[in-house]
Structure 1
Amino acid sequence: MAKIDPYTAELQRRGVECLYHPFYFSVEDVFRKRPVPFDLVYLHRYSNASKYAGMIRQHFPKARILYSVADLHFLRLERQAELENDPVLRQKAEQMRRLELGAMFFVDCVIVHSAAEAELLAKLAPGVNVQVIPWTIEPRDIVTSDAGHPAVAFIGGYRHEPNIDAAKWAAQTLMPSLRKELPGIELLLVGSHMPAEVSALAEKDIVPLGYVPSLDNVFDRVALTIAPLRYGAGLKGKVLESLAAGIPCVMTTVAAEGLDLPKALQPLVVDEPQEIAARVAKLCRDKAEYRRIVDAGKAYVSANYSAQRIDGLLKQACALGT
């Protein structure tokens, strides 16, 4: 219940009412003091759905409740447990699966960003109304600078464990292959909340940038991005933002999950370090192929993540006009 500027101030400038301390002491305090019942409540992530879905049903029995999972936490944990062969993590994943699925039965509509997760939920919880709704991304033009040497970037928020793993894997396992294919290549590690174990990966050709105010400041100095995720879930914003900016992204199968990439972009999906390095090298050297991927990426983003399309999907989830 905190006022966090500049974000709260910007929302208020746009006409969004923001409720925070000291006017309210908790979410339940908001519910108790609400003079007119809510018609619609949107819950984001399991941490909020688990705490408030039942409470909303109690205070506002007629309200329509939407629950956006962001990603299926239990699926991410299952994959991490498999990769690390960790029995304790497997137990945690199973517990999370029960809790996440349980929270879904309190709501009217569950929103996932990935069609792959919708298919999984159809098998695990067939009685739940699941809608696939990504977010809006607008293609834009980035003027890249000629740095004189090839550069690639990995982008990810480092409070998310799959991104820590991917950054370490990129620096320790992928970079040796990239150095052979493209001597002088530079890897930028980009993202907020960078822990010491990632910043410690710094070398002459590995630059931990950390947080940047705008990704455009990264896109204008790299030829490509990479998304070498070994586990995870949901839709990967790092991939979509890169394609929207006209920067090809070479990604693993995990990073590509749920994107339903067209045939023209499928060559970007490779898993082995040598394959990733070879694909990066080809795109850096073959200007015609590079341009083809850039155009295909922007066309894909325009077709699937436009404001008009996402607005229509959200209206369906909210049951507006029905």
Structure 2
Amino acid sequence: MQKTLLIIGFVWPEPNSSAAGSRMMEIISCFKSDDYNIAFASACAKTDNAFDLTSLGIQQVSIELNHSSFDEFLVKLQPDVVLFDRFMTEEQYGWRVAEHCPEALRILDTEDLHCLRKGRQQAFKDQQIFDNTYLFNDFAKREIASIYRCDLSIIISEAELDVLTQVFKVDESLLYYLPFLLEPIFEEEISSLPEFSEREHFVTIGNFLHPPNYQSVLYLKESIWPLIRQQLPKAELHIYGAYASEKVNQLHNEKDQFLIKGYAEDVSVVMQNAKVCLAPLQFGAGLKGKLIDAMKNGTPCIMSSIAAEGMFGNIEANGFITDDVEELVNSAIALNSNECIWKETQVNGFKIINTRFQRSDFQTDFIQMIHDVILILKVHRQENFIGQMLQHHTLQSTKFMSKWIEEKNK
């Protein structure tokens, strides 16, 4: 009998706008490979950049917050698995799923650890060294509670898996490491990429709704690009990203060749035209899609330690990792000018894609793990008493708050 998956999305997937959108499409592909009937539901307004899920045979459902119509939808659909895209959707809809579909496996896709990203952002604002006093924030209280309430949580980064198990002491049975799921890059594809001499200029890319990306561009504008331009006066920096606001567009400066390009219709073309990708993120979490895009298209990177976190394992990076401005500038100039170094780091990127993020290395095991947990779901939940406790209190508090809001809105 065909199984049914319900995905409750914080937003509709936009794979051309964000790494989160690409990630969601990879997860959908996993379930499609196991012949799941899939419905994707979201209360978010859909933009023109949203992927047309109906083209994959996926039902698209607009839902409302704090409304019993979602309960009716659940009862009719009767999903076998419910996946929450970010902990906020689990907070909003998890109690309804638990009440109306108690036998459904509940999975949280964390995307990245929001508490880690928010803590680092606050430490950056305070100009302080990030430590556990910043990590143990209100987002952490909500996010870790959501992880416990779910039967499984998908973690995209090995570094974040360590944070959850070592710092927050979450049991490994509740967590599953599932990074980006990519196809291999074959020699024929590599040989078709533009060579060093066919490329020019620098590039950076990132969805501007994501605060780390805006701050990174500001950092480039104020501290890094002027120093690169001193030594490479003809160089240009092309800045791409969806949802560029007025404050982003105001950074555009043709005289300094600091060029805001906006939405990238085809990220592969953008990366293949560039000689070097710059990713000096000062805070953030998760795996960075911009680095994956760069490696797939043979574009070496200069990146901060936060940008590189969880990406490379024991393999040499596809460029240079540094948090020092002078080192970053010198490394960027070396990559732009030295074809030998450029080619060496480019090869590292292909190796990383082909050894650390192969779909075939993860997809089958992931689907089998889901089958296994479904078979022992009752025992699995019994062993997660903290989750049962949190679920009990959530049903008593969130449920009645939501019902009060629903009545108030009538």
Normalised to the residue count of structure 2, the TM-score between the two structures is 0.70
- Is 1:206 aligned with 2:258? yes
Which residue number in structure 2 is paired with residue 99 of structure 1? 142
Which residue number in structure 2 is paired with residue 319 of structure 1? 371
Report if aligned partners of 1:133, 1:313 keep a CA contact under 8 Å in 2: no
Query: Deviations along 1:235-259, whole A, 9 cap, x unmatched?
Result: 1111111111111111100001111
In structure 1, which of residues 236, 240, 243 is the aligned counterpart of residue 288 of structure 2?
236
CA distance in 2: counterparts of 1:163 and 1:297, whole angstroms = 22
Q: Displacement of 1:132 after TM fit?
A: 1.2
Q: Give the secondary-structure state (helix, strand or coil) at the position aligned to 1:265.
A: coil
CA distance in 2: counterparts of 1:157 and 1:249, whole angstroms = 18
Amino acid at match of 2:206: G
- Is 1:135 aligned with 2:177? no
Q: Which stretch of structure 1 is more off in the superposition, 312-321 or 298-307?
A: 312-321
In structure 1, which of residues 258, 268, 274 is the aligned counterpart of residue 326 of structure 2?
274
CA distance in 2: counterparts of 1:103 and 1:96, whole angstroms = 10
Which residue number in structure 2 is paired with residue 14 of structure 1? 56
Report if aligned partners of 1:265, 1:296 keep a CA contact under 8 Å in 2: yes
Report if aligned partners of 1:178, 1:277 keep a CA contact under 8 Å in 2: yes
CA distance in 1: counterparts of 2:308 and 2:134, whole angstroms = 27
CA distance in 2: counterparts of 1:288 and 1:208, whole angstroms = 30
Which residue number in structure 2 is paired with residue 298 of structure 1? 350
- Is 1:58 aligned with 2:79? no
Which residue number in structure 1 is paired with residue 209 of structure 2? 159
Report if aligned partners of 1:164, 1:198 keep a CA contact under 8 Å in 2: yes
Q: Displacement of 1:149 after TM fit?
A: 8.4
The change in CA–CA distance for 1:27 and 1:189 in structure 2 (over 3 A counts) is farther
Q: Which stretch of structure 1 is more off in the superposition, 222-231 or 57-66?
A: 57-66
CA distance in 2: counterparts of 1:126 and 1:9, whole angstroms = 34
Q: Give the secondary-structure state (helix, strand or coil) at the position aligned to 2:213.
A: helix
Q: Displacement of 1:271 after TM fit?
A: 1.2
Report if aligned partners of 1:243, 1:301 keep a CA contact under 8 Å in 2: yes
Amino acid at match of 1:155: I
Q: Give the secondary-structure state (helix, strand or coil) at the position aligned to 2:302.
A: strand
Report if aligned partners of 1:66, 1:318 keep a CA contact under 8 Å in 2: no
Q: Give the secondary-structure state (helix, strand or coil) at the position aligned to 1:136.
A: coil
The change in CA–CA distance for 1:127 and 1:146 in structure 2 (over 3 A counts) is closer
The change in CA–CA distance for 1:103 and 1:171 in structure 2 (over 3 A counts) is same
Q: Which stretch of structure 1 is more off in the superposition, 303-312 or 275-284?
A: 303-312
Q: Displacement of 1:217 after TM fit?
A: 2.5
Q: Displacement of 1:53 after TM fit?
A: 2.0
Q: Give the secondary-structure state (helix, strand or coil) at the position aligned to 1:235.
A: coil
Amino acid at match of 1:30: F
| Structure 2 residues without counterparts, runs of 5 or longer | 1-41, 376-410
- Is 1:251 aligned with 2:284? no
CA distance in 1: counterparts of 2:234 and 2:226, whole angstroms = 11
Q: Give the secondary-structure state (helix, strand or coil) at the position aligned to 1:188.
A: strand
The change in CA–CA distance for 1:274 and 1:65 in structure 2 (over 3 A counts) is same
In structure 2, which of residues 103, 109, 115 is the aligned counterpart of residue 68 of structure 1?
109
The change in CA–CA distance for 1:265 and 1:319 in structure 2 (over 3 A counts) is same
| Structure 1 residues without counterparts, runs of 5 or longer | none
Normalised to the residue count of structure 1, the TM-score between the two structures is 0.88
- Is 1:116 aligned with 2:159? yes
The change in CA–CA distance for 1:8 and 1:269 in structure 2 (over 3 A counts) is closer
CA distance in 2: counterparts of 1:145 and 1:298, whole angstroms = 15
Number of aligned residue pairs: give it: 317
Amino acid at match of 2:117: R
The change in CA–CA distance for 1:148 and 1:287 in structure 2 (over 3 A counts) is closer
Report if aligned partners of 1:181, 1:278 keep a CA contact under 8 Å in 2: no
Which residue number in structure 2 is paired with residue 33 of structure 1? 76
Amino acid at match of 1:17: Q
Report if aligned partners of 1:80, 1:232 keep a CA contact under 8 Å in 2: yes
